Amino acid sequence: MDLFDKCYNKLVADSRAAGIYPYFHELESRQDVEVIMEGKRRIMLGSNNYLGLTVDPRVIEAGVKALEKYGSGCSGSRFLNGTLDLHVQLENELAEFVGKESCMTFSTGFQSNLGIISAIVGRNDYMICDKENHASIYDGCKLSYGKMVRYRHADMEDLEAQLQRIPESAGKLIITDGVFSMGGDIAKLPEIVELAHKYGARVMVDDAHGLGVLGKNGRGTADHFGLTDQVDLIMGTFSKSLASIGGYVAGDLRVIDYARHASRPFIFCASIPPASCATALAALRILKETPELPKRLMELSMYMRKGLRERGVAIRESVTPIIPIYTYEPEATLRKAKELYDEGVYVNPVLPPATPADECLLRTSYMASHTEALLDEALDVIERVIGHTALEQ
C-alpha cells in the first residue's frame, strides 16, 4: 500500500463539488465585528476576538513600537537567546492577574498544552480528561508518557468512577476546559476540585475561552467560582481575548520553574515575536483597566441568546459568548453555513471529529464591540436561514 493512498477526504471532495466547502475563506480587512471577506461585507459571528481588542489603537501601537525597538523576531528559544524583557513583564503581569505565583509563555496556545502536560506527567501518572476537552489537551496527553483516561462530558459520577480505578499511589492530573470551545458551557469546577481533593489529584484548567470572559475583570473560570487557590495550573492563550498569538501556563513557582527546564515544546521552540508579546501585554493591561469590557461582552451574549430563543432556534443554555446552533447532520450544517455566508453572516460550521456525527453545529461567538443593531441584523438572517429546523431533532 502506498503511504499516500489515504490522502483523500470524501466529505471535503463532496462539499467542494457541491459548492458548500466552508473553510479558508479569505479576509481582506481587520478582524472586527464587520469584515470584508472575499469582496463582500460579512457580520463576523465566528471570531474568538472576545473583547474586540485586535483593532484597538493602543494594542496596534504597542505592536508597532515593539517591532521598531526589537525587530521582527528573536531567532532563538526562550531557553537560550530568545528571552526579552517584554516576555518577563508579560509573564509577571499574567501571573498576578490570574492569581498564581509564576507563569511561563509559549509560542501558541496549542503548544502551551503540549508543553505543560508532557513536562509534568510521566510514566505511571494518569491524566483524567473531559471527553469534550480541546484537541491540544489530547495531543499533550499523547506526548507525555502517562496514561490518559476520559470521563463523559461534565459527568461528575463518571469522573469519580474513573478516579476510583486509578491506583492510589499514582500521580493524577484532572484536566478540563474552563469554557468548552464548541458548546460554550462552563466546567463544573467546584465538583471537580472536590473530587480532586478526595482522590489526591491535581487540577488543570484550560482557560483559553475563559480569560477575559468570566470572573472579576475577566480573570477566568477559577476566579468565577472563587477557586483560584484550588486550581493548580491555569492555561490560556493570547489569540482570543488578548488579541495576539501565543499562550501561557500559570501555577506554583516550583512547578513552573521545573517546566521551564523540562518542557521540550518550550525549550526547543523560538520565542513569541516581540510585536506579538507587546500586543498581548497591551491587551492585558487594557483588560485590567477596563472591567466594563467583560461585563459588556456578557450583556451582548445574553441579548443574542434571548434573540435566538425568541426566534425558535435551539441553543445550549449557558452565559458565555459561545453559542452553538445545532444543525445535527454534516451536509445540512455545511449548507446552512453557506446560506448564512451568502446572506452576509459568517459562522463556523463544526463537524466530526470536533463533534459527534449526529451533533454537528454552527458555532457562533461574540465580541464586546458588537452592537445590538448589528446583532439584530444577524438575527434576522439567522431566522430566515435556520428558522425552526434546529428544533425538529
- Neighbour tally for 135: CB within 10 Å: 12
Long-range CB pairs of 91-96, under 8 A, 24+ apart, other chains included: 91/248, 93/281, 93/284, 93/285, 94/248, 94/250, 94/284, 95/250
Give how far the C-alpha of residue 2 lies from the chain's centroid of Cα atoms, to the nearest Å.
Answer: 37
Outline where DSSP puts E strands in 109-262: 126-130, 147-151, 172-177, 202-206, 233-237, 247-251
Query: How far from 38 is each of 25, 35, 135, 344, CA to CA, in Å?
Result: 7, 10, 29, 11
**209 counts as catalytic:** yes
Q: How far apart are CA 375 and CA 302, in angstroms?
A: 11
Cell of 286: 487594557
Asked if the peptide bond before residue 324 counts as cis, ω within 30 degrees of 0, the response is no
Question: Strand 348-350 and strand 147-151: pairing?
Answer: unpaired
Q: How far apart are CA 338 and CA 350, in angstroms?
A: 13
Q: Which of 136, 144, 181, 276 is catalytic?
A: 181
Question: Dihedral (C-alpha) 295, 298, 302, 304: value to the nearest 10 degrees?
Answer: 110
Give the chain's count of helices (H) and strands (E): 14, 13
| Torsions phi, psi for 131 (to 5 deg) | -60, -20
Q: Which of 134, 224, 240, 370 is catalytic?
A: 240
Q: Which of 172, 209, 224, 336 is catalytic?
A: 209
**216 counts as catalytic:** no
Q: Among all residues, which ones are annotated catalytic? A: 181, 209, 240
